[in-house]
Chains A and B, each alone.
Chain A
């Protein structure tokens, strides 16, 4: 599903975030990317989501070469992923329901069908009773669950999460990781970047460890 071949990413100014990284992720896998901050985890995820382009090497996503993708094709690539960010990236002027409905409206799904899907997604993360609440009134863990609901609402084949438990205490973190595991169990490919090596030990899955931009 995802194939990195000798991928390097050099940022303007000379900072080399990734050095000759090669790996493959198959459909339905649960993969963790670990490493200290600055090891290149976020860069790797950005390459997967088409937010950045590689400087060297090739990134194949479902047999599509990211580097050769037209600019206009990138939004369609991103719709195949559910993205979860460390800082949630929720819209704080919209309520829970509207936040989750955003990816659907981008896909042109509105009305009854959208409502059904939004509630199904909220149900999965346990926020169904709060659909009218504003995001600021939710706790940190609930906000991250809301972000996950938004990521899964358009039923993507793959979930990509950058430090989803970064700002959460241990109880919430376990809860969130449990959610990702549940999605993995129903066949969704899951790729999670985290610095919390202990938290993932019990979850199974494969680990890619980054150190100074290279896989170890």
Chain B
């Protein structure tokens, strides 16, 4: 039984491969179409995953920076310090004297030209504050509270842009999800249509086969293999396109990153995700073929 099963599957697979080889050009076009449409959401997903990874490396605790007026006196700074020590919502706070900040700025790369043009220190004294409660509401409350204190020029919540990045990444994930869904459906339709055309050209063969005792399964098998193989080839094509595009991007991304003294590049999806992409492509092709061939068989039955 198992031997027969293997023979029949091997036979169907060989038949399909021979057919595809005979129509190499249209097969390649088909794989190209599938590869391109799969690579679009895959590419977007990869970029977003890289962004997520990048933002994950950043500190996510919302820091609050409190800047004094430039002309504020040490007494006034002390008053603020006392307020911070007594405040229930503040976990830790660190004083950054204006001279220290000025030296740090002068030392940091790229700012020498700017700082050398200035005679006086333009920077104010500042506090870096870590709030106890880290919910956006609590942080906002603390922020609003501090703004009303005397001699406070500006209060900034540093985690704002991280939050925005998070929101964008979240939106991106949804876009990828929707895109995969829509293009997946389109792929299924494309494969189904191609298989339907193949069935039409082989209608005679199917009818004769049925007459001389072929089971539906026997007739369906090569078309299902064709669908799955289209999916497989399309998945591979998508992976190749994705790798090529990432490589091309990285040439530039690394240049830019190097200019900023950072080491950042786009990473290819890990193996499990690549395999998932491939598996879903195979499944889509198979399902598309199954729907097409089942419909065609029931049409033949009634005709």
Q: Which chain A residues have a beta carbon within 8 Å of chain B's beta carbons?
A: 49, 51, 72, 75-79, 83, 85, 89-93, 102-103, 105-108, 110, 150-151
Contact status A106-B218, CB under 8 Å: yes
Query: Can you list 7 A-B contacts with CB-CB less than 8 angstroms, sorted by A residue number?
Result: A72-B215, A72-B216, A75-B210, A75-B215, A83-B212, A89-B204, A106-B214
Contact, CB under 8 Å: A75 / B208:
no
Docked CA distance A122–B17 (Å): 28
Cβ of B204 and Cβ of A103 under 8 Å apart? no
Nearest-neighbour CB distance to chain A for B99, whole angstroms, equals 89
Q: Which residues in B have some Cβ–Cβ distance to A below 8 Å?
A: 4, 7-8, 11, 204-205, 207-216, 218
Q: Per a CB cutoff under 8 Å, which of B7, B209, B212 touches A108?
A: B7
Known A-B contacts A75-B210, A91-B204; the reply to A110 vs B215 at CB < 8 A is no
Q: Give Cα A89 to B207, complex, Å.
A: 9
A106 lies within 8 A of B7 (CB): no
Cross-chain contact A78 with B4 (CB below 8 angstroms):
no
- Chain B proximity of A116: nearest CB distance (Å): 16
Query: Is A91 a contact partner of B7 (Cβ separation < 8 A)?
Result: no
Which residues of A sit under 8 angstroms from B208, Cβ to Cβ? Answer: 89-91, 102
Q: Report yes or no: B212 in contact with A150, Cβ–Cβ below 8 A.
A: yes
Distance from A117 Cβ to chain B, minimum over Cβ atoms (Å): 15
How far is it, in angstroms, between the C-alpha of A108 and the C-alpha of B11 when the chains are bound? 9
Find out whether the CB atom of A83 lies under 8 angstroms from the CB atom of B211: yes
In the complex, what's the smallest C-beta–C-beta distance from B301 to chain A, in angstroms? 9
Chain B contact surface mostly: helix
Contacting residues, chain A, for B209 (C-beta < 8 A): 102, 106
Q: Which of A72, A79, A91, A150 contacts B205 (CB 8 A)?
A: A91
Q: Which residues of B contact A49 (CB under 8 A)?
A: 211
Q: Which of A79, A91, A93 contacts B213 (CB 8 A)?
A: A79
B7 and A103 contact, CB distance less than 8 A: no
Tell whether, in the assembled complex, residue A89 and residue B211 are in contact, meaning their CB atoms are under 8 Å apart. Answer: yes
Q: In the complex the two chains form, what is the Cα distance from A111 to B215 in whole Å?
A: 21
B7, B207, B212, B218: which contacts A78 (Cβ < 8 A)?
Answer: B212
A78 touches B8 (CB 8 A): no
How far does the Cβ of B12 sit from chain A's closest Cβ, in whole Å?
10
Contact A76–B8 (Cβ < 8 Å): no
The docked-state distance in angstroms from the alpha carbon of A62 to that of B208 is 24
Taken together as a complex, chains A and B put the C-alpha atoms of A75 and B214 apart, in Å, by 6
**Chain A residues with Cβ under 8 A from B214's Cβ?**
75, 106
Please indicate the chain B residues that have their CB under 8 angstroms from the CB of A108 in the complex: 4, 7-8, 11
A150, closest chain B residue (CB): B212
Q: Tell me, rounded to whole Å, the shortest Cβ–Cβ distance linking A216 to chain B.
A: 29
Q: Are B213 and A75 in contact (CB under 8 A)?
A: yes
**Nearest-neighbor residue (CB-CB) of B7 within chain A:** A108
* Residues on the B chain within 8 Å of A93, using CB: 205
A106 near B212: Cβ-Cβ < 8 Å? yes
Give chain B residues whose Cβ lies under 8 Å from the Cβ of A90.
208
Closest B residue to A51 using CB positions:
B211
Q: Report the Cα distance A103→B11, complex, angstroms.
A: 13
Minimum C-beta distance from B208 to chain A (A): 5
Q: Which residue of A lies closest to B201 (CB)?
A: A93
With the chains together, A151 CA to B212 CA distance in Å? Answer: 8
Closest residue of chain A to B15 (Cβ to Cβ) is: A105
Min CB–CB distance A80 → chain B (angstroms): 8
A83 to B208 Cα, complex, angstroms? 10
| Residues on A with beta carbons closer than 8 Å to the beta carbon of B216 | 72, 75
B8 proximity list for chain A (CB < 8 A): 108
Report whether B213 and A106 are in contact in the complex, using a CB–CB cutoff of 8 Å: yes
A151 to B7, CA, bound (A): 22
From B204, which residue of chain A is reached at the shortest CB distance? A91
Closest beta carbon of chain B to A111's beta carbon, Å:
8
Q: Select from chain B the residue with minimum beta-carbon distance to A77.
A: B213
Q: A106–B208 Cα gap in the complex (Å)?
A: 11
| A161 CB to nearest B CB, Å | 13
> Taking CB as reference atom, which chain A residue is nearest B10?
A110
Contacts of A77 in B (CB 8 A): 213
